[in-house]
Amino acid sequence: MHDLSLTIKELLKKIDPPIAAALGHVDLSLPLPPPVQFLSAGEKVHLAALCAVKRRRQWLGGRLAAKEALIELFTGQREQWQITNSADGRPRANFLPDPERFRADISISHSHDLAVALAVAGGYACGIDVELMGMRPHRLRERFSKRTEDEIIARLSPEKGYTMLWCAKEALRKAIRPMPGFFDLELFALAPQANGYIMDFSLGPKGPFRCHTMLYKGYGVAVFINKH
């Protein structure tokens, strides 16, 4: 069994020039530490307004994963990092003791029992997405996959192919501004790599945009990092 952080570190090494980045991941099937031990005061207020049990758990898991990544990348205690969401939902990291000290972009994703977060330092935007591998993305493929992409994806099983395509497009959408629609992005190349695939996308005249996807404990995971 491979470790997700190690796999992503291996992937990050392939990006030139080298980028300082870190990954956090939380197994939501296990008990989480008490929120009081890792949330900032502002985050505790936000948590109090979340009622649905599943949403609370995924929100907490995402925060914990993001803080793990930020501490590995920079420094600090969990409660010193505050994760807020901007008006469009995008997560932002603030180091409360010294808000000007670190520049980072973060991305969060959760699916079933897995929450993940990616943090990258200065000058880059990042997107991460996880999705439990299954037939759901295949059933919903008409909402996000073009016919030309169906032909490329046909090299993989429908389950794996559409889960990976979904994750990759979500990871790109989280990092690119303005946020592209699913059909604005077009997969044009797919190449196998350890535990997953390299997927290259175009976005009109822009691109190519390279997304690294992989399999991890029955989940599809996609990671995308883009220079600002």
Ligand X SMILES: CC(C)(COP(=O)(O)OP(=O)(O)OC[C@H]1O[C@@H](n2cnc3c(N)ncnc32)[C@H](O)[C@@H]1OP(=O)(O)O)[C@@H](O)C(=O)NCCC(=O)NCCS
CB of 144 to ligand X, least distance (A): 10
CB of 170 to ligand X, least distance (A): 5
Chain positions 170 to 199 lying near ligand X, rule: CB under 6 A, are 170, 173-174, 179
DSSP of 32-94: PPPGGGT--HHHHHHHHT---HHHHHHHHHHHHHHHHHHHHHS---GGGEEEEE-TTS-EEEE
CB of 16 to ligand X, least distance (A): 25
Residue 124 interacting with ligand X (CB under 6 A): no
What would the two tokens of residue 3 be?
Answer: 């470790």
- Pick from 199, 172, 198: nearest CA to 184: 172
Of 82, 109, 163, 213, the one binding ligand X by CB under 6 A: 109
Q: What is the spatial distance between Cα 228 and Cα 211, in angstroms, rounded to a whole number? A: 16
- With CB under 6 A, what is the number of residues at the site for ligand X? 16
Cβ contacts of residue 143 below 8 Å, gap of 6+?
A: 182
Q: Which stretch binds ligand X (CB under 6 A): 15-23, 25-33, 34-42, 168-176?
A: 168-176
Q: Which stretch binds ligand X (CB under 6 A): 25-33, 105-113, 132-140, 195-203?
A: 105-113
- Only one residue has tokens 């000290």, namely 101
The CA angle 184-190-196, to the nearest 5 degrees, is 115
Q: Which is nearer to ligand X, 48 or 154 (CB)?
A: 48
Answer whether 176's CB lies under 8 Å from 168's CB. Answer: no
Q: Which stretch binds ligand X (CB under 6 A): 20-28, 103-111, 198-206, 214-222?
A: 103-111
Q: Which stretch binds ligand X (CB under 6 A): 15-23, 97-105, 166-174, 198-206?
A: 166-174
- Pick from 222, 34, 30, 26: nearest CA to 133: 222
Per-residue contact string for residues 65-94; x = within reach of ligand X by CB under 6 A: --------------------x-xxxxx---
Q: Which residues bind ligand X (CB under 6 A)?
A: 59, 62, 85, 87-91, 108-110, 129, 170, 173-174, 179
